[in-house]
């Protein structure tokens, strides 16, 4: 693609923190940022002198006819580090803007099932250690039906548990005064009413105590060893028929991930902080049979090219890819385009708040192209 113009600017994300928007040939894309970020992620800060970064990248790419891979390689050359410590959010915004400007091949599309964050906790507020309590419309026959079910469950939860709700967090999920088990029980009750599957993002790294190697649940009076954490997660899977469990152990416990994956059936054991969309970390997980699913977040690795490389490795080895938003989001719906173009069977795109930008774009794509929802093996 011929690059005729290139611009960077500072905009603000859903937490009113600055981030970077890139514009290529009049097409914009923005970099989101996470609150519970893995140690091994690419950096996603706003460079201190964005004008200088704009000039560096602009001088290198303007007037050039580039592929996505060549463009992303130029970004890596300009940055000079493995983690984009210099370009930060400017790298992912630029890479995504190139991707959007080049256009997507949706064709007769396979659409992902939306994974909705109904109740939140952990780093995003609330009384639970686990970060997200999720509902998934696995019985839906279309994207509109899936979105209707998520909306019904969102309103239904408020109607049933309104007195336990304290507000909403920065992902649009309800914040309650319930502990982890009570929250799962409430979410499972609402999910059953609307015919939805249930999942969690434990985000266990955030409450793992490195000093004693335990997982602390103060509201339930528990401090668990790694083996006890695995057994607790197994119990939750069995009791609430969980089909999706993200980051049940801390971000470097490959052996623990392998152990829990071997113990459960018909449940996605999803690595987010474990893999952080990094090809090498996923390959290590594959070698150990750690997890069977991976979160795909472009800004964790820094470029569209590197994101797709990790995605293709996951697909090659039977790991279920889940395209995902971040907690500090923008109105850019590009992950919906990527999920459809790359045939990811799931997309974590929330239910309420700024995440409706992604869900509404999925509805647009469904209306434009038609298609079918992914073929699930759960």
Q: Quick check: is 331 in a domain?
A: yes
The CATH number for 93's domain is 3.30.390.10
Q: What residues have CB less than 8 Å from 79, skipping those under 6 apart?
A: 85, 86, 87, 91
Q: Quick check: is 141 in a domain?
A: yes
Q: Tally Cβ neighbours within 10 Å of residue 108.
A: 8
- pLDDT of 244 strictly over 90: yes
Last residue of a domain, one of 102, 136, 152: 102
3-state secondary structure of 119: strand
- Domain boundaries, position 32: 6-102
Catalytic residue among 171, 206, 246, 251: 171
Kindly report the pTM of this predicted structure: 0.95
Nearest one of 20, 190, 112, 138 to 359, comparing CA atoms: 112
Q: Quick check: is 172 in a domain?
A: yes
pLDDT tens digits, one per residue of 127-177: 899 999 999 999 999 999 999 999 999 999 999 999 999 999 988 999 999
User: Could you confirm whether 308 is annotated as catalytic?
Assistant: no
Q: How far apart are CA 149 and CA 196, in angstroms?
A: 8
3-state secondary structure of 335: helix
- Measured at the CA of 43, the angle between CA 41 and CA 49, to 5 degrees, comes to 175
Parallel, antiparallel, or unpaired: how do β-strands 197-201 and 132-136 relate? antiparallel
Q: How far apart are CA 346 and CA 339, in angstroms?
A: 8
User: Bridge-partner residues for 348, per DSSP?
Assistant: 115, 324
Token pair recorded at residue 264: 């459960």
Q: Quick check: is 193 in a domain?
A: yes
What's the domain count of the chain? 2
Q: Indicate if 337 and 234 belong to the same structural domain.
A: yes
pLDDT tens digits, one per residue of 308-359: 999 999 999 999 999 999 888 999 999 999 999 999 999 999 999 999 999 9
Q: Indicate if 120 and 268 belong to the same structural domain.
A: yes
pLDDT tens digits, one per residue of 174-205: 999 999 999 999 999 999 999 999 999 999 99
DSSP state, residue 227: H
The runs of H, that is alpha helices, within 174-303 are: 180-194, 226-240, 254-263, 279-288, 298-301
Q: What residues have CB less than 8 Å from 70, skipping those under 6 apart?
A: none
Q: Indicate if 244 and 294 belong to the same structural domain.
A: yes
Catalytic residue among 297, 308, 348, 358: 297
Q: Indicate if 361 and 305 belong to the same structural domain.
A: yes
Q: How far apart are CA 69 and CA 82, in angstroms?
A: 16
The C-alpha torsion from 277 through 278 and 279 to 284, rounded to 10°, is -110
Strand order in the sheet with 6-12: 6-12, 18-24, 27-30
User: Bridge-partner residues for 176, per DSSP?
Assistant: 165
Q: Indicate if 115 and 68 belong to the same structural domain.
A: no
Q: Looking at residue 44, what is its pLDDT?
A: 87
């Amino acid at each position: 693609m011929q690059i005729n113009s290139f611009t960077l600017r500072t905009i603000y994300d859903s937490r009113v923190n600055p981030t970077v928007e890139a514009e290529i040939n009049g097409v914009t894309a923005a970099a989101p940022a996470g609150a519970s970020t893995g140690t091994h992620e690419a950096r996603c800060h706003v460079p201190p002198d964005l004008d200088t970064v704009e000039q560096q990248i602009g001088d290198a790419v303007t007037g050039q006819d580039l592929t996505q891979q060549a463009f992303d390689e130029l970004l890596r050359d300009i940055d000079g580090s493995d983690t984009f410590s210099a370009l930060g959010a400017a790298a992912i915004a630029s890479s995504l803007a190139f991707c959007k400007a080049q256009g997507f091949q949706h064709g007769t599309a396979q659409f992902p099932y939306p994974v909705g964050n109904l109740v939140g906790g952990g780093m995003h507020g609330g009384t639970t250690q686990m970060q997200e309590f999720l509902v998934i419309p696995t019985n839906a026959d279309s994207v509109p039906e899936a979105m209707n079910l998520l909306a019904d469950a969102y309103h239904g939860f408020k109607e049933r548990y309104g007195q336990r709700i304290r507000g909403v967090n920065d992902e649009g999920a309800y914040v309650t005064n319930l502990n982890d088990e009570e929250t799962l029980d409430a979410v499972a009750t609402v999910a059953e009413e609307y015919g939805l599957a249930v999942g969690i993002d434990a985000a266990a790294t955030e409450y793992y105590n490195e000093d004693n190697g335990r997982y602390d649940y103060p509201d339930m009076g528990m401090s668990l060893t790694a083996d006890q954490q695995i057994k607790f997660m197994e119990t939750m899977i069995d009791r609430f028929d969980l089909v999706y469990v993200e980051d049940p152990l801390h971000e470097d416990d490959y052996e623990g991930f392998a152990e829990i994956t071997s113990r459960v059936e018909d449940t996605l054991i999803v690595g987010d902080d474990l893999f952080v969309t990094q090809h090498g970390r996923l390959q290590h997980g594959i070698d150990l049979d750690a997890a069977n699913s991976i979160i795909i977040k472009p800004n964790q690795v820094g470029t569209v090219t590197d994101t797709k490389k990790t995605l293709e490795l996951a697909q090659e080895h039977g790991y279920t890819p889940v395209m995902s938003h971040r907690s500090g989001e923008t109105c850019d719906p590009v992950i919906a385009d990527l999920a459809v173009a790359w045939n990811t069977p799931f997309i974590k795109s929330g239910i309420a708040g700024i995440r409706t930008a992604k869900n509404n774009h999925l509805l647009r794509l469904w209306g434009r192209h038609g298609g079918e929802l992914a073929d699930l093996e759960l």
